[in-house]
Amino acid sequence: MSTGDLAQKAKDAASRSYSPYSQVKVGCALETKEGRVFLGCNVENASFSLTLCAERVALFKAVSEGATGVRRVAIWSDTGFLLPPCGACLQVLSEWMEKDGEVILVSEDGQEKSIPFADLLPMDLSGLKEHLR
Ligand code: THU
């Protein structure tokens, strides 16, 4: 799938955002290493702290449907700027991202920026994972 198509899917996913508190719509289109695409949007809660970001919604959908790795993650928001994944999402994504995985940020006006996942989270816990095995 082209980057543009993945970006469009992230935008489509944002239309289902449940964000009555922040009024920020976020959509994510995540491509697995098997080439399947899963979508997610942010789902807020009156407790605030139980809100789930679009990226983790898409990731948990993928993993629960059998995905074994993530190749690309496109994120669209209606903020007017390129919104990167939060630290919590980077940490959770790091468990599944391929070594050369990419994050594609997409703005409301259609700007796109591809960033290697490793640039967003340069030190992950792969050493600890090995240690714990
Ligand atoms: N949000 C995401 O869904 N992904 C991000 O990368 C950052 C923030 C959501 C959480 C909340 O619903 C809203 O954006 C404002 O923080």
Residue ranges per domain, the chain? 3-131
Which residue's CA is minimally distant from atom 10 of ligand 1? 53
CATH number corresponding to 3-131: 3.40.140.10
Q: In angstroms, rounded to a whole number, what is the distance separating the alpha carbons of residues 114 and 77?
A: 15
pLDDT tens by residue, 36-87: 999 999 999 999 999 999 999 999 999 999 999 999 999 999 999 999 999 9
Q: Does 45 contact ligand 1 (Cβ within 6 A)?
A: no
Ligand 1 center from residue 17 Cα (angstroms): 10
Question: Which residues make Cβ contacts (< 8 Å) with residue 97, sequence separation at least 6?
Answer: 69, 70, 73, 117
Whole-number mean pLDDT of the chain?
A: 97
Burial (CB count within 10 angstroms: exposed 0-12, middle 13-18, buried 19+), residue 106: buried
